[in-house]
Amino acid sequence: MNWTCEQTELRLSDHLDGLLTATEQHEFDAHVNTCARCTPLVSSVTHALASLHTLPQIEPSPRLVYNILDKTLGPRETVTGWAAVLAWFRGMNPQRIAYGGVSFCAMFLMIASFTSFNWKKPRVADLSPVNVYRGADRQAHLVYARSTKFVSDLRVVYEIQSRLQREDQLPSGQETTTPQNSPEKNPGRTDGSGPTSPKQQNRANDLVSHAVVLAAGCPALWELWEGRIR
Amino acid sequence: MRQHNRRVFNICYRFTGNRTEAEDLTQDVFLRIYKTLASYRAAHGGFATWMTSVTRNLLIDHYRRTKRDRATDSLDDAMTVVENKESTARRPDEQALLGELSGQVQSALTKLSPELREAVILRDLQQLEYAEIQRVLAVPEGTVKSRINRGRIELARILQQMGVRPS
């Protein structure tokens, strides 16, 4: 069967929609590939179809829905006063509001506690910027002093532990708590030998007194300390 | 309604090529549907098909109503086209900037006759099946196929005249 130009034009959409049978498709292709009239026709219609498919979906304006509702269901009632406020709250997301409220309260509590706000006897004067600044400044200094003391205490504990471990490693005959003279008389030695200068002796005494105080606060450490003394 | 208004609006927009007219027509479509909802029978097809049918009828009514206005406009358009052709002959770079493909395709679409235009829109833009188009247009399937085929060929011819050629 010879496929004609008229047939090609009539069945063009079937070809584009994939509705031709295998035989028809073969004959269609055979004709289009050899026909000077049909080749550009098929090409241009294929291009037009592809162009149509590239057309985007257009978004209607948001007011269109309200206009349709107004036209079909009638104009909406205008809500005023508390009803409007309640309607506004109803439209909001309660989870987000709760999360925001909790975050705000937590932040307020943190700031208030940092500025030494007295919760038992709250005063308006405590909220003035000068008092807030003074309170924050005082708190900052307190935090700094406490942290410095904490670091210092940690350092003392560490030094005591180091010294006790060093004494454990020494032979039993040399076990003593009495400071030994350094054979080389070098100040600031770290080889486990005792202090050689009055300054070092004072420091060692200071450490011992710190250790006693700390050990008194901690029973386990106290027992350990008693064992060392004996 | 929120589910369907975008589809109805797009059909109207592609048919008229005018956003304001499309929005007005979309409102009219929903008003008509609201009033005639009782006449809908599920046995005659899906709700979307029925809605498309109502849209199509209103578009055809609108087309007939505004035919006289368009006759005047078409003369102005023809003059504009001539002017554009002259200017584009001199300034091809401007034409490239001004004439985006989607705008040209939309312009070509509105130049099709209403019968061919609605068939092409329903088939190639709304991706309706032949049977659904047959129900919407209330014509035999052969006529639907013929209109779609002629619409595509005519569209390709208009696009070629506008200078939009396959690359």
Please tell me the predicted confidence (pLDDT) of residue A183: 55
Q: Mind listing the pLDDT tens digit for each residue in B102-158?
A: 888 999 999 999 999 999 999 999 999 999 999 999 999 999 999 999 999 999 999
Q: Which residue has the tokens 């206009």?
A: A67
For residue A20, which residues of chain B lie inside 8 Å, CB to CB?
Answer: none
Looking at the structure, tell me whether residues A34 and A99 fall in a common domain.
no
Q: Which residue has the tokens 């200017």?
A: B87
Looking at the structure, tell me whether residues A216 and A164 fall in a common domain.
yes
Q: Has residue B51 got a pLDDT over 60? A: yes
If DSSP codes are grouped into helix, strand and coil, which group holds residue B129?
coil
What value does the mean pLDDT take over residues A76-92? 76
Looking at the structure, tell me whether residues A167 and A207 fall in a common domain.
yes
Looking at the structure, tell me whether residues A105 and A149 fall in a common domain.
no
Residue A169 lies in a domain: yes
For B102-133, b/e burial (b = at least 16 CB within 10 A) is eebbbbbbbbbebebbbbbbbbbbbebebebb
CB atoms A10 and B149 under 8 Å: yes
Q: Has residue A36 got a pLDDT over 70? A: yes
For residue B166, which residues of chain A lie inside 8 Å, CB to CB?
Answer: 43-44, 46-47
Best mutation target among A12, A45, A67, A70 (most B Cβ atoms within 10 Å) is: A45
Please tell me the predicted confidence (pLDDT) of residue B94: 43
Looking at the structure, tell me whether residues A168 and A211 fall in a common domain.
yes
What value does the mean pLDDT take over residues B62-78? 70
Residue A71 lies in a domain: no
The three-point CA angle A161-A162-A163 to 5° equals: 90
- CB contact B5 to A (< 8 Å): yes
For residue A51, which residues of chain B lie inside 8 Å, CB to CB?
Answer: 101, 105, 159, 164
Rounded to 5 degrees, φ, ψ at A185 are: 60, 40
Terminal C-alpha separation, chain A: 120
If DSSP codes are grouped into helix, strand and coil, which group holds residue B62?
helix
Following DSSP, what letter does each residue of B1-16 receive, concatenated?
-HHHHHHHHHHHHHHH
Q: How many Cβ atoms from other residues are within 10 Å of residue B24's Cβ?
A: 16
Looking at the structure, tell me whether residues A16 and A44 fall in a common domain.
yes
Please tell me the predicted confidence (pLDDT) of residue B90: 39
Looking at the structure, tell me whether residues A200 and A147 fall in a common domain.
yes
- For residue B5, give the chain A residue with the closest CA: A65
Q: Has residue A150 got a pLDDT over 90? A: yes
Using CA atoms, how far apart are residues B94 and B104, in angstroms rounded to an integer? 14
Q: Give me chain B's average pLDDT, please.
A: 82
Looking at the structure, tell me whether residues A123 and A145 fall in a common domain.
no
Looking at the structure, tell me whether residues A114 and A150 fall in a common domain.
no
Residue A77 lies in a domain: no
Owning domain of residue A111: 94-127
Q: Mind listing the pLDDT tens digit for each residue in A158-175?
A: 999 999 988 888 766 554
Q: Mind listing the pLDDT tens digit for each residue in A179-206?
A: 555 555 555 555 555 555 666 777 777 7
Using CA atoms, how far apart are residues A64 and A67, in angstroms rounded to an integer? 5
